[in-house]
Amino acid sequence: MEQTVEQKLKALYELQTIHSEIDKIRQIRGELPMEVADLEDDVAGLETRIQKIKFELDDLEDEIVTRKNVIKEALANTKKYETQLNEVKNNREYEAISKEIEIQGLDIQVAEKKIREFGFEITTKNQVYEKALADLEERKGDLEIKKAELGTITSETQKEEEDLLVQAEKAQVNIEERLMFAYNRLRKNAKNGLAVVTIRRDSCSGCFNQIPPQRQSDIRQRKKIIVCEHCGRILVDEQMAMEVEEA
Ligand SMILES: [Zn+2]
């Protein structure tokens, strides 16, 4: 059974409509897994960072304990020297022990200064730690939402896509092999997956270049398959697009 050019164009445009729907679904589904992967990276990064800060805080606490022990020891020494001071026999001995007491006092001062510094560092680090924890919670929340979204979209669109693929199969039956070959090649080469496009505002809606009035009128005649002189896409008139979409 021989088809008219009009029937061929309609069949091609119908197939294009179905394929565009499939493209749209795949595009939506295609971006979500990437977003999920990015969030998973963020979460892992923050968890590593939090672990590192925790270790640093532990080290600082250890440093403080060490310095506190230094002070304890220095105080014990001071007490011991002070007792000795009561039993000195001569001036030289007195001088020597006094010097020792002074050294212990200096050790205590140094240790106390260090403890204060470590204390400040702990306070600052704790703020960073709290901020990282809050960021982590936020990212984890975003991740859960995106994962759920992906799950919903995947299950919702799966059926839709399968139905559309069946429709596409059916639509292809009506198109001769030569045209299918041209159509597939055009679709493969076009970034937007469009092989058949309409005239929109006197232009090709595939590449947006103007179509001369005579050519537009030829397209509306539907007597010949006409391609865009700029991008090579098959052109159909706006009225045909409406007819196909209403069918
Ligand atoms: Zn074009």
Residue tagged 């299918």 (tokens): 180
Determine the distance separating the centroid of ligand 1 and the alpha carbon of 229, expressed in angstroms: 7
Predicted confidence (pLDDT) per residue in 131-159, tens digit: 999 999 999 999 999 999 889 888 888 88
Determine the distance separating the centroid of ligand 1 and the alpha carbon of 200, expressed in angstroms: 11
pLDDT value of position 246: 86
Threshold 0.85, pTM exceeds: no
Is 185 within 8 Å of 231 (Cβ atoms)?
A: no
pLDDT value of position 30: 82
Total H helices, total E strands in the chain: 5, 3
Mean pLDDT of 197-213: 96
Determine the distance separating the centroid of ligand 1 and the alpha carbon of 190, expressed in angstroms: 10
Please provide the average confidence, as pLDDT, over all residues in the chain: 94
Which DSSP category does 210 fall into?
Answer: B
Could you give the 3-state DSSP secondary structure of residue 234?
strand
Cross-strand partners of 198: 236
The tokens describing 144, both together, are 């859960």
pLDDT higher than 80, residue 187: yes
Place 189 in a pLDDT band, splitting at 50, 70 and 90: very high
Residues 6+ apart with CB under 8 A from 133: 50
Place 29 in a pLDDT band, splitting at 50, 70 and 90: confident
Is 240 within 8 Å of 216 (Cβ atoms)?
A: no
Determine the distance separating the centroid of ligand 1 and the alpha carbon of 166, expressed in angstroms: 29
Predicted confidence (pLDDT) per residue in 84-141, tens digit: 999 989 999 999 999 999 999 999 999 999 999 999 999 999 999 999 999 999 999 9
Determine the distance separating the centroid of ligand 1 and the alpha carbon of 177, expressed in angstroms: 23
Is 162 within 8 Å of 21 (Cβ atoms)?
A: no
pLDDT higher than 80, residue 1: no
Determine the distance separating the centroid of ligand 1 and the alpha carbon of 5, expressed in angstroms: 20
The tokens describing 139, both together, are 């990212």
Rounded Cα gap, residues 240 and 242, in angstroms: 5
Q: Which amino acid is at 26?
A: R
Rounded Cα gap, residues 56 and 154, in angstroms: 43
Residues 6+ apart with CB under 8 A from 245: 17
